[in-house]
Structure 1
């Protein structure tokens, strides 16, 4: 397989409707917001969803969540030790880890070993945090989170009706918002992790369907929707333009429409002249 041969930039536009896209555990699991009310979905959250979709494609993934695990291992250390041997600081371990797990060669990873130190692998794929186009409106509903599970007896944790004392809770969601995040793939770093053109295509293929099989009570089916993926493939490993210039060339309105879509397709945007965009509709 060929190592990543060209610099790649991409932009993803998605819509949230009646859902909590990324709860903050330090703030009662409310949707993440900045001080000015702009909504936020962290890069860690986005990478988790990319990993899950790659698992759907039967790719080997190192960092698996408990509710989406595809193997028998109960910890990352156990997975590493059993699959490629005891974690050590040798370069051979890093090479094997990158060969084995796609997310390691894409995003990098930190492996801790016995001596209290760690091995850091720097990946070629970077993802920026997603932000909403406008300040979001957070709606909070009081809900019943438990049912009558205890007998009505004095001295236990239930009230006079036999209900658990912590049965009431809150559910937070946003009415509707457009979010955007940006990413890039660096061929120079790809050489160190053996990230390939085929790996890049796999990520390209999962981005339009990022929220499929991701439903929960906080994110019901259909409440999270990828609108468009904008994919830029440069003509060399170094790239024709910086990622900052490419990303800033995308003009997206508050409804999620690309204002200069035709110009992008034709490669005529002045700041990125000659760099053609592939615009992929959400799945």
Structure 2
């Protein structure tokens, strides 16, 4: 059975002397706007959700390079693999075949196999190379959406020049060994998300799947340490979880998210919404 209730959620994230999400187009400095409001992109957050789910034994389609479990070199190879995917035939439409029917069958198989596909959705666009038919393009719209996390106040970014342990090129001299390291000194970030029962009906995302997402959200940064994010420098302080009493939801997501006010010290206030009391869960 697919998701039976609309769900909204919020993450309150604490950052201390870490680079929560570097911008590769800006020297890997922490992402921030003109007013120094920090940002952790939705793509970054979904990457961490996928990683935590994969560590819990779930089958993930979009795997990070350092956490690959199947040796596949690309998403295309993974999708078309007979051992780890659906096989090449699932993504080729032979002449005279019912394209709509095959797309639906492939979509259903993909959603059943990969947790992140039935959660966040995915686009499959593969072409035929044998000349016997046309390729297939499948867009799966996932029921779980998450917004970028933004800091509740401007963040202070510190940049230090460092000496690299390995030269970046063949040139000799001091400059080849110098680099920059950036960090947010301290900050509180907030991200909002939602789960749609209507879209869950199309992918098979269930109440059990929602509980699995709920479980990993509280430990989003465990096992995610790096030089830029030392162990303990990032933490989910609180997960606010609103479960509506119906598929349509008692209130709009905008109104639910707007009922939460987070302060710069990590404390928060919740405005009362009649009939909708959230669970307030401490981070791991």
- Please report the TM-score for the alignment, with normalisation by the length of structure 2: 0.89
- Distance in 2 between the 1:195 and 1:47 partners? 16
Aligned to 1:153: none
Q: 1:143 aligns with which of 142, 148, 162?
A: 162
Aligned to 1:274: 275
Q: 1:129 aligns with which of 137, 148, 165?
A: 148
Q: 1:184 aligns with which of 173, 194, 197?
A: 194
Q: Deviations over 1:143-200 (max 9, x none)?
A: 11134799xxxxx6223xxx7x521110000100000000000000000001011100
8 Å CA contact 2:198, 2:247 repeated in 1: yes
8 Å CA contact 1:32, 1:40 repeated in 2: yes
Aligned to 2:179: 169
- Distance in 2 between the 1:147 and 1:181 partners? 37
Secondary structure, aligned partner of 2:189: strand
Aligned to 1:13: 12
Structure 1 segments of 4+ aligned residues over 6 angstroms from their partners: none
The structure in which a higher percent of residues are strand is 2
Aligned to 1:46: 45
- Distance in 2 between the 1:168 and 1:192 partners? 52
Aligned to 2:58: 59
8 Å CA contact 2:168, 2:176 repeated in 1: no
- Please report the TM-score for the alignment, with normalisation by the length of structure 1: 0.89
8 Å CA contact 2:118, 2:204 repeated in 1: yes
8 Å CA contact 1:107, 1:125 repeated in 2: yes
Give 1:251 shift. 1.6
Please provide the CA RMSD for this pair: 1.7
Secondary structure, aligned partner of 2:269: coil
Does residue 215 (structure 1) correspond to residue 214 (structure 2)? The answer is: no
**Unmatched 5+ stretches in structure 1:** 151-155, 264-268
Give 1:117 shift. 6.7
Aligned to 1:228: 238
- Distance in 1 between the 2:163 and 2:229 partners? 18
How many pairs were matched up? 264
- Distance in 2 between the 1:98 and 1:54 partners? 15
Aligned to 2:95: none
Give 1:70 shift. 1.9
8 Å CA contact 2:167, 2:176 repeated in 1: no
- Distance in 2 between the 1:276 and 1:127 partners? 21
Secondary structure, aligned partner of 2:10: strand
Residues 148 and 203 (structure 1 numbering): CA distance in 2 closer, same or farther, change over 3 Å? closer
Aligned to 1:111: 124
Aligned to 2:114: 101
